[in-house]
Amino acid sequence: MIRILALVLSLLILSPAYAGDKQKSPSISPWLYKKLQKSEQLIAKKAYTQAAQKLTAMLKKTKQKSYEKAIVLRSLSSVYALNNQYKKAATTLAKALALNVLPKKQEQQAILNLGQLYMAVEQYTKAIQILEPWLAKNSSPDVQVSVLVANAYAQLKQYRKALPHIKKAIARTKKPAETWYQLNLALYYELENYRAAAKILQKLITQYPEKKQYWNQLASTYQQIKQYKKAASIKYLAYKKGFLNTEKDILALANLFLYINSPYKAATLLKQAINLKKIKYSSKNWETLAHAWTMAKEFDEAIKALEIASGLSNKGSLYQQLGQIHVEQEQWEKAIQALTKALKKGNLKNTGATYLLLGMSYYEKNNSKQARKYFLKAAQYSKNKKAAQQWLKYISEPETSY
């Protein structure tokens, strides 16, 4: 559920004018004015219970449907709100509005306050019922009201109805609040409109470049819509800014580079991270680095990485990979050393292939005896039997002299 934005209840005790005042508001009697001043003094001392008692007593002495009654009710609502009694505050302010005697400016402020109070007590439907008509009647409505309505609809999980209100608030404001963008973003996520969400995140990054969460969210959103190159670019910028500090994040970025076929970037990232101790000096990480270098066709670097990875591992598979690279590079002696270590450590997924490679390496070293030995061993494995037999036949045939 989208969380409600923080509400700032702006219910203030504003003493209305009395006879002789220059304000255009209806006048009140000097008696009531003095009583209201005394209640304000109690409020200033945070004596809310006493203030509420005095204001309640005043109500009995005011005329029905009078401006004075509306003023006292509004003030009493303020006291309830200040004392965190929001339900009472809402009920009381609704009564003040129902009298329909407040001047337009005061009425509009009271409507806004009542909407806020309904939000505070989670009466979202009531908040919408009072605030949405207000928006419809005003050609230049207060954007804060649009935000409140958007929040109310969001709390009711009516995301499509919430969206236009928050979009209007943002469009009509030179510097929209960060929380407005956050609500807009949350609505797009709820509606699974990830492309629109990405645009909001771009704005958030522009305005709040030091906030890590927006970089991470934008990268994730790009991945959601399968724009992996953009995701990698954002993640890398976040890394450069120091926002990707965990091993998990760095490895995820490296794997993303590999996925978009940028192995050189993945390799340089991993090498730097290992050297700076941002990721563990482990067999697994060196193996990933070796894989990246291999994809980048930087075989010398791949060999160095695999040699370290092999030494740190208790499995022979890495030495087998190292031997494979040496064979491809026609480095026969190094291939023999690596493949022999692979067999010694064991835990190989394809032992027959290792024997086959050893046989080939010995053959290239003109050691037919050892080559035959390993080809015979390779022939004992079903996956490698055919290739091994072909080699055995080849090395058994007499050389043709011309």
CATH number for the domain that contains residue 89 = 1.25.40
CA 125 to chain centre: 29
Does residue 340 form part of some domain? no
8: how many CB neighbours lie within 10 A of its CB?
7
- 142 vs 213, residue with greater confidence: 213
Does residue 108 form part of some domain? yes
pTM value is 0.75
Does residue 273 form part of some domain? no
Count Cα atoms within 13 angstroms, Cβ side, for 392. Answer: 17
Mind listing the pLDDT tens digit for each residue in 339-362?
Answer: 999 999 888 888 999 999 999 999
Count Cα atoms within 13 angstroms, Cβ side, for 153. Answer: 22
Closest-CA residue to 124 (of 161, 170, 176):
161
Does residue 222 form part of some domain? no
> Domain of 113?
1-122
CB 35 within 8 A of CB 220: no
Mind listing the pLDDT tens digit for each residue in 63-73?
Answer: 988 999 999 99
Does residue 144 form part of some domain? no
Does residue 57 form part of some domain? yes
Does residue 246 form part of some domain? no
Total tally of structural domains belonging to the chain = 1
pLDDT for the residue numbered 9: 39
Question: What is the number of residues in the chain?
Answer: 402
Q: Which amino acid is at 218?
A: L
CB 169 within 8 A of CB 147: yes
- 12 vs 35, residue with greater confidence: 35
